[in-house]
Amino acid sequence: MSRYLTRLSVLTVLAACLSLAQEKQKPPQGSAPKPFTLPASQNFTLKNGARVTLTPYGNVPKVSVRVVIRAGNGNEAPNQIWLADFMGDLLKEGTTTRTSAQIAEEAASMGGGVGVSVASDETTVSADVLSDYAGAAVKLLADVLQHPLLPASELERIRSNRLRNLALQKSTPGGIASAEYAKAIYGDHPYGRYFPSEEMLKSYTVDDIRNFYKANIGAQRAHIYVAGRFDTAMAKDVAAAFEGWEKGPAPVEDVPKLTAKPSYALIDRPGAAQATIRFGLPVPPATSADYIPMEVTDSLLGGSFGSRITSNIREQKGYTYSPFSSVNTQYHVADWHENADVTTAVTGPAMTEIVKEINRLRKDPPSADELQGIKNYMAGLFIIQNSSRQGVISQLRFVDLQGLPADWLRNYVPNVLKVTPQDVQRIAESYLNPDKMALVVVGDKAKIEDQLKPFASR
């Protein structure tokens, strides 16, 4: 009798679990996406050309300060790759009045720290502190940017770190593939220069770094963002800290002229268990009316966990664990590419499925229900991305860098929701032609070369 009851209990539990699983497959209908609203910002420009944006945000008594300089790796000459990164490293090593330790201790006493980052189009110096210290944080960042020591004593340590970083990145299939793909899309433009040589890194002197700073860092290229809870004195604090900064050089306009054209590169990694794929081409930039429809198309095709390519080669075929696509946006240019690390034995079949999904979307528009789910996901993600001080500044920075209209952020969600199935099909047909894409594969050449012959001869 007890054995019967036990068996019955097990069956009951299994039935309940099955019922729960079925319920999970049918989630409740989500609510309508919420619009994005940003508190009114105070915008002004200092006499030296530095722009300022002050944005009250949130209830937590903290403030994010970010000084964004319109200069980065994109300003490097062909023999200066990563020189901007060296400059960023040395900016953290003290000023004419503060040691690096004093900067760190002072920032820590405000409840935060100072960060420096370098990207293709921008160099950023930032701090996130308690609201009571907002003015002091502004003064600290002003000192870091205006009076850097750029000490020769720290150069060899930084050089060693960069050399190790270079060796590490060049040893990974992802790094190799990304470098080759950037060269295929952007050519000799700075956006296409991914890795320096060891000799290049070993040749940099402190004078090279100081000259790069002088040639690229100044008030005219700066935008100072403050977001969070701050008092009415913030505008005066920013002006007092930055109005004495030298104007410096004007921003450089260097937009590459891109053409979608097929190319193929197979980089051999003997014995590799996986093949790393990059497959893409130039697409409309952020300033284009097709940019937001392009982002929606990307999300549906490969840019979200529920996308078609991901569902195909991950969920259905099991070729890969985490494929994804993205729209990579630079200053007034962009490219779309699919990324995947697939099992070596199915490299060719994986590429076949990727191309099949692209062509399917080029031929037939998605269903209204499928597209609505993607649009709801994007609208919700956009709100989440803007739910922090740093997120708000990142979005404002994007709009300012690209020269987008002031209402671009406010209209983003409505513009996403306006995208129709026919828009998605049109975008795919117009811009995502597999026959014009650059294909880079890093893997065991002996095992995958024959698999890739149909794609090598496009």
How many angstroms separate the first and last alpha carbons of the chain? 71
Query: CA-to-CA distance for 92 and 161, rounded, in angstroms?
Result: 14
Query: Could you tell me if 218 and 327 lie in one domain?
Result: no
* Domain-embedded: residue 171: yes
Tokens representing 426 are: 């049109």
Same-domain pairing of 138 and 190: yes
pLDDT of residue 29: 64
Give the distance from CA 125 to its chain's centroid.
17
Buried b (16+ CB within 10 A) or exposed e, 401-435: bbeeeeebbeebbebbbebebebbbbbbeebbebe
- State whether 110 and 232 are in the same domain: yes
Q: pLDDT category, 125, cuts 50, 70, 90?
A: very high
How much of the chain, in percent, has pLDDT values that exceed 90?
Answer: 90
Co-location of 350 and 445 in the same domain: yes
Q: Classify residue 47 as exposed, middle or buried by CB count within 10 Å of its CB (0-12, 13-18, 19+).
A: exposed
If asked whether residues 195 and 267 sit together in one domain, one would say no
Examine residue 223 and state whether it is found in any structural domain, yes or no. yes
C-alpha 355, offset from chain centre? 25
Say yes or no: 56 and 130 in one domain.
yes
pLDDT at 38: 80
Q: Examine the domain organization and report whether 415 and 371 are in the same domain.
A: yes
Count of structural domains within the chain: 2
* pLDDT at position 41 over 90: yes
Residue 10 lies in a domain: no
* Same structural domain, 400 and 269: yes
Whichever domain contains 395, its CATH number is 3.30.830.10
Question: What pLDDT was estimated at residue 157?
Answer: 98
Assess whether 109 and 164 both reside in one domain: yes
C-alpha distances out from residue 268 to 271, 386, 444, Å: 9, 42, 5
Please say if the pLDDT value at position 31 is more than 90. Answer: no
Asked if residue 433 and residue 396 are part of one domain, the reply reads yes
Q: How does pLDDT run across 366-416, given as a tens digit for each residue?
A: 999 999 999 999 999 999 988 899 999 999 999 999 999 999 999 999 999
Please compute the mean of the pLDDT values over residues 178-195 and round it to a whole number.
98
Is residue 4 scored above 50 in pLDDT? Answer: no
Domain span including residue 98: 42-242
Q: How far apart are CA 119 and CA 127, in angstroms?
A: 17
CA distance 71 to 440: 29
Biggest CA–CA distance in the chain, Å, is 90
Q: How confident is the model at residue 53 (pLDDT cuts 50, 70, 90)?
A: very high
Position 458 confidence tier, pLDDT thresholds 50, 70, 90:
confident
* Average model confidence (pLDDT) across the chain: 93
